[in-house]
């Protein structure tokens, strides 16, 4: 399959590396070319526009920050849709609202191509470890065509229903993810307030029954020395997803009290000037509330 990838940030670029390592020929585009240079050096072909990337591709992936970025890359004279071939599959891996994705899928259908929503669950480390989960919504036949590619990206691939269904699950997962991390911060703060050294508390909690995959790789970030130089998911980006999930839940009439409280702590973390850090930095809010020096 001829593969194109639009959006070469930390996750998108990591996915392209996995596809290249699997022997795939990939053509890519990114708003800032400099970020793509290491991928070009690794064998990716560069395209000057999303349209040029999509032209001639059997499968086009995109992974972009938000709906505005997806729309900008997909539509217009130089957009993905202008370059899509009839019969191609466009799989958007961005985290956006299901309704927004379904509306774009209708526009893709008019080109003779098919769109899937294919958001991922995991982190940069999950991707590097080959454990990324991919959720897929849309036409089942299109999914089956690209399933081999998806399994090269991550082994946990799940088809969940029609267009938008995968995004519903992605947003639901992220609501729980934030709640887990905030609850972990709370527990560490209790231990540290008593006088237990923070790192020791983290180690003990991650060896206990509350350990989970997300806490396993993100829990250590409550200790500043353990935080990555570049945030895997900074507070601002994580809150974007959180608020999308909250909006979806409210539109469905679903109760999300814990997720709503988690969102408030993300707001407090941004107010503390920590919005650029991985969102586990919300621990500093708990420490300040508890008078922990």
Active site residues: 170
Question: What is the C-alpha to C-alpha distance for residues 186 and 283, in angstroms, rounded to an integer?
Answer: 7
Residue pair 171/241 in contact (Cβ under 8 Å)? The answer is yes
Question: What is the C-alpha to C-alpha distance for residues 190 and 201, in angstroms, rounded to an integer?
Answer: 9
The residue written with tokens 């922990």 in the block is 292
On the CB side of 267, CA atoms within 13 Å amount to 7
Q: Which of 179, 166, 269, 267 minimizes the C-alpha distance to 218?
A: 179
Question: What is the C-alpha to C-alpha distance for residues 43 and 276, in angstroms, rounded to an integer?
Answer: 31
Burial, 195: exposed, middle or buried (Cβ in 10 Å; 0-12, 13-18, 19+)? exposed
Question: What is the C-alpha to C-alpha distance for residues 115 and 105, in angstroms, rounded to an integer?
Answer: 5
Residue pair 260/246 in contact (Cβ under 8 Å)? The answer is yes
Q: Are strands 133-137 and 120-121 parallel, antiparallel or unpaired?
A: antiparallel
Question: What is the C-alpha to C-alpha distance for residues 180 and 239, in angstroms, rounded to an integer?
Answer: 14
Report the alpha-carbon angle 185-188-189, nearest 5: 85
Q: Is the dihedral of CA 222, 227, 233, 237 positive or negative?
A: positive
Residue pair 160/27 in contact (Cβ under 8 Å)? The answer is no
Residue pair 235/277 in contact (Cβ under 8 Å)? The answer is yes
Output the six-digit token pair for 257.
């009290």
């Amino acid at each position: 399959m001829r593969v194109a990838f639009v959006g070469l940030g930390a996750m998108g670029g990591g996915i392209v590396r996995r596809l290249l390592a699997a022997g795939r020929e990939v053509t890519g585009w990114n708003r800032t070319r400099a970020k793509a240079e290491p991928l070009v050096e690794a064998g990716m072909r560069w395209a000057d526009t999303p349209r040029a990337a999509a032209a001639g591709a059997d499968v086009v992936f995109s992974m972009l920050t938000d709906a505005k970025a997806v729309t900008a890359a997909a539509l217009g004279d130089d957009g993905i849709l202008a370059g899509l071939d009839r019969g191609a599959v466009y799989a958007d891996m961005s985290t956006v609202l299901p309704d927004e994705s379904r509306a774009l899928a209708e526009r893709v259908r008019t080109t003779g191509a098919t769109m899937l929503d294919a958001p991922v669950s995991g982190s940069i480390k999950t991707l590097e470890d080959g454990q990324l989960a991919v959720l897929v919504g849309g036409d089942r036949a299109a999914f089956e065509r690209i399933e081999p590619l998806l399994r090269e990206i991550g082994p946990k691939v799940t088809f969940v229903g029609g267009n938008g269904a995968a995004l519903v699950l992605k947003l639901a997962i992220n609501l729980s993810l934030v709640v887990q991390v905030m609850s972990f911060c709370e527990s560490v703060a209790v231990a540290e307030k008593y006088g237990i050294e923070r790192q020791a508390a983290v180690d003990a909690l991650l060896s206990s029954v509350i350990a989970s995959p997300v806490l396993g790789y993100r829990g250590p970030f409550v200790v500043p020395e353990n935080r990555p130089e570049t945030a895997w998911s900074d507070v601002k980006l994580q809150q974007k997803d959180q608020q999308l999930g909250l909006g979806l839940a409210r539109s469905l009439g679903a109760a999300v009290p814990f997720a709503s409280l988690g969102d408030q702590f993300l707001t407090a973390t941004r107010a503390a000037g920590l919005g650029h850090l991985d969102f586990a930095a919300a621990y500093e809010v708990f420490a300040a509330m508890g008078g922990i020096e």
